[in-house]
Amino acid sequence: MEISYKWLQEFIELPELPEEVGKLLTATGLEVEGIERIDAIPGGLEGVVIGQVLTCVKHPDANKLSLTTVDVGTDQPLPIVCGAPNVAAGQKVVVALVGATLHPVSAEGGIAQPFQIKKAKIRGQASEGMICAEDEIGLGTSHAGIMVLDTDLPNGTPAARYFHLEADYQIAIGLTPNRIDAASHYGTARDLKALLNRPLRLPSVDAFVVDNTSLTLDVQVDDTAACPRYAGLTISGLTVGESPDWLKRRLVSIGLNPINNIVDVTNFVCHDLGQPLHAFDAAKIAGRQVIVKTLPAGTPFITLDNVERKLTATDLMICDAEKPMCIAGVFGGQYSGVSAQTTSIFLESAYFSPTSIRKTAQHHSLKTDASFLFERGIDPNITVFALKRAALLIQQVAGGIISSDITDIYPNPIDPFRVLVRYRNIDRLIGVKIDHTEIHQILEALDIQSEQPDGDDSFVAIVPPYRVDVTREADVIEEILRIYGLDNIPLSKNLAADSLSEFPKTDPDQWQSRVGQLMAANGFYEILTLSLTRPAYNDAIRSSLPGDDVKLLNPLSDELSVMRQTLLFSALETLVYNLNRRQKDLKTFEFGKTYHKVKLDDNTPKYVERMRLSLAIIGNQTPESWLQKGQPVAYHDLAAAVQRVLNLFRIKSFDTQPADPTLFQYGLAYVVNKKPLVSLGLVNSKLIKLVDLKQPVFYADFDWQALLKLATGKTRYEEVAKFPEVRRDLSLVLDKAVTFEQISKLARQTERKLLRFINVFDIYEGENLGAGKKAYSVSFMLQDTVQTLTDVTIDKTMQRLMTAFEQELGAVIRK
């Protein structure tokens, strides 16, 4: 919901700045999501003031120019060279100061190119400003001469104040469905009235007079359950046309487009008081009858958007003697609305059942400002007041006379809600004891009367019908609290939220269980293997081992005489065992310990145990079927599994380096804090042969203890981006030795703020690139968290990246 700051000031005195008003509204529960400045004209006449010409003489070197001095309220008058033929001493004029940006209007009425006022010398004479014509400041198309004002305003007064063009501010409120009472400027002002203890200024309707009854219509309501209250009157002799500027500015300030003076008034009152209205062309109402009723299911009706809709048996319609004219409270009809030829109208103001309106709006997929209000429940007691307010405004902007009495059909008035409230529950739920007098002052400011307020234990709250959300004791207490102020409630030692415990220490067993569940969910089988292994296995990878073997003093066999220093061979032997039994497509994981010993400075041995996590995959990623051939596992299948584990630990940033060639034919090691966290890749073919395995195996080895150190129980949140991403692609010709990791690292070092993601989507090698060259096609995703990226910013960013690639990596950029 959008609220205009200046419009709000018509209901209540608000010396506070828009930002302060936003904080006040948020404190009452009307959360302000944003505040945007709205200028009546482009630029808002910023830097344009009222001035007075003190002297005016002809320019010595130009017959059509004049040298003036102008008082603009500063210590010294400004010298300004002026080319207008009508400039003269003593005039009050409009002056654009140095630094002001003007948004002129072209001769055709369009917006011309803006320009900034600068200090200048014109034919050798200093000029420090500009005396303006109306087209130069965007107020018209005339350029016959400067604007000469008739005003007593002091020099230096902003011109926007003289022309009543001060900037407005659009306050966006995230209105919750239960607070429909605040879905208007009047409703929002009611909350501020209660919070600030200031009086409201309701518009007066005392001038409303029925001129005659020459156009009286017969109004009847057949379905009083769906339409508890229906009011209307006629206005004759009006002229449909463009709305005055003040009315158009009000609508534009909340994002509405002006249509014509009649429709604009109904929209204005809707957002002014929260009462939707509808105007019918009285000449199109057959039989001078208005009937509120339902029609048979399947009845066709063409709405304002020129769509024929089939009505349901529960759709409430506004009809004349012959035909339906409007879907009540939802959408007007094509043939009964106001047009340029309209000279008389029937103006409707009603209270419709929320349930009825919601059913109809949902069925026809129609969401309008009127249905939004009606289906949540508006104030049934403001119906006639809003009707008079709209009638007076229509007379003001379109002329005409009131040509009928007000018809007000309200057979069963809606009673206020009566809620029993106990003082002890107020104290208990709010957490502090509030003086009873203050409680009733708050409720009275919210238009909630109290019956028996002097009772020792309780009272009855009389809640007006427009507060559809206040029907229980807890609701009344919430009203007291939001005006009393959450900030005024001291923190309680008894509230758990006041003393949040620290996050528990990392539990290795819980993390092991979570990873195990993750692996199992992705098709991996857990294996448990011996910690004893063959000495030949350790010998084959001796250069990569962290220490000496731990040998058994009394081994059962030479084949199992040392402790393992890696889980790799345990995984390979398990794969061989299963392959020999026709299990070809395998994915395994294992939690296990490795063992080695190192010598301390005094040559005494130190035995080291380390927990590891291993993953291994072999065979096909997808089984063979009639739909597709079996797809062999690849490096990226293993990398995806590794990434899932890292995501579980919320590890997003790491460096990479080539994996140990002793263990891997190719692969990567992910490094955190300069220590390998996980190594993954295709197992070296020499090691495959060592266990008599004839298929390629992809293997990953995690340092489990390092993983646990990086684990955190804290959930990290970040706001969903409000501004769009922008993608740009580059083709880089590089030496074959340059890796994508180098490209990615350099890109992130060069652009830390806007670069969100970098990806290589194609690699090409060919003779036309030259010997030892390859081409990377790389995409860059750019995004700013505070504003939409402009082409200028994007181009500058990409230029910095290209320069870095050329200078640091010797890249050739292909367009």
Question: pLDDT tens across 310-327, in order?
Answer: 999 999 999 999 999 999
> Considering only CA atoms, which of 262, 266, 269, 261 is closest in space to residue 245?
261
The answer to whether residue 171 sits within a structural domain is yes
Q: What is the pLDDT of residues 389-399, one digit of tens each?
A: 999 999 999 99
> Considering only CA atoms, which of 575, 579, 614, 576 is closest in space to residue 593?
614
Question: Which of the four pLDDT bands, split at 50, 70 and 90, describes residue 717?
Answer: low
Q: Is 475 annotated as belonging to a binding site?
A: yes
Say whether pTM exceeds 0.75: no
What sign for the dihedral angle of Cα 117, 118, 119, 124? negative
The answer to whether residue 428 sits within a structural domain is yes
Q: Is 469 annotated as belonging to a binding site?
A: yes
Could you say which of 643, 676, 710 is where a domain stops? 710
Q: What is the pLDDT of residues 426-442, one digit of tens each?
A: 988 888 889 898 999 99
| Helix spans in 297-454 (H) | 354-364, 369-374, 383-398, 423-430, 436-445
The answer to whether residue 33 sits within a structural domain is yes
**Same domain assignment for residues 77 and 150:** yes
Q: How far is the first Cα of the chain from the last one, in angstroms, to the nearest whole number?
A: 47
Residue 476 CA, chain-centre distance (Å), reads 31
Name the DSSP letter for residue 500: P
Could you say which of 409, 428, 445 is where a domain stops? 409
**Same domain assignment for residues 465 and 603:** no
Q: How far apart are CA 424 and CA 477, in angstroms?
A: 11
The answer to whether residue 206 sits within a structural domain is no
**Same domain assignment for residues 34 and 49:** no
116: domain CATH number is 2.40.50.140
Number of domains in the chain: 6
443: domain CATH number is 3.30.56.10
**Same domain assignment for residues 654 and 738:** no
> Considering only CA atoms, which of 50, 178, 754, 201 is closest in space to residue 482?
178
Question: Which of the four pLDDT bands, split at 50, 70 and 90, describes residue 592?
Answer: very high
pLDDT of residue 177: 84
Residue position matching structure tokens 């009854």: 213
**Same domain assignment for residues 706 and 730:** no
pLDDT of residue 492: 56
| Residue pair 467/474 in contact by the 8 Å Cβ criterion | no
Residue 711 has pLDDT above 50, yes or no: yes
742: domain CATH number is 3.30.70.380
Q: What is the pLDDT of residues 109-134, one digit of tens each?
A: 667 788 999 999 999 899 999 999 98
Residue 496 has pLDDT above 60, yes or no: no
Residue position matching structure tokens 């040392």: 562
User: Of the ranges 443-447, 495-499, 675-679, 738-742, which one carries the lowest mean pLDDT score?
Assistant: 495-499
The answer to whether residue 212 sits within a structural domain is no
Question: What number of other Cβ atoms are within 10 A of residue 668's Cβ?
Answer: 21
What sign for the dihedral angle of Cα 579, 583, 587, 588? negative
pLDDT of residue 488: 83
Question: What number of other Cβ atoms are within 10 A of residue 354's Cβ?
Answer: 17
Residue 499 has pLDDT above 60, yes or no: no
**Same domain assignment for residues 624 and 754:** no
Q: What is the pLDDT of residues 536-555, one digit of tens each?
A: 999 999 999 999 999 998 88
pLDDT of residue 128: 94
Residue 270 has pLDDT above 90, yes or no: yes
**Same domain assignment for residues 301 and 372:** yes
The answer to whether residue 326 sits within a structural domain is yes
The answer to whether residue 521 sits within a structural domain is yes
**Same domain assignment for residues 273 and 287:** yes
The answer to whether residue 609 sits within a structural domain is yes
Question: Which of the four pLDDT bands, split at 50, 70 and 90, describes residue 44?
Answer: confident
State how beta strands 218-221 and 289-294 pair: parallel
**Same domain assignment for residues 124 and 174:** no
**Same domain assignment for residues 387 and 467:** no
- Give me the domain span that covers residue 344: 218-409
Q: How far apart are CA 171 and CA 36, in angstroms?
A: 7
**Same domain assignment for residues 475 and 523:** no
pLDDT of residue 501: 47
Phi, psi of 133, rounded to the nearest 5 degrees:
-90, 170
690: domain CATH number is 3.30.930.10
**Same domain assignment for residues 449 and 388:** no
| Helix spans in 588-694 (H) | 635-648, 685-690
What sign for the dihedral angle of Cα 618, 622, 623, 626? negative
| Residue pair 221/227 in contact by the 8 Å Cβ criterion | yes
pLDDT of residue 495: 47
Section 692-699 average pLDDT = 92
Long-range interactions of 59-62: CB distance < 8 A, separation 24+: 59/122, 59/123, 59/125, 61/123, 61/124, 61/125, 62/122, 62/123
Q: Is 479 annotated as belonging to a binding site?
A: yes
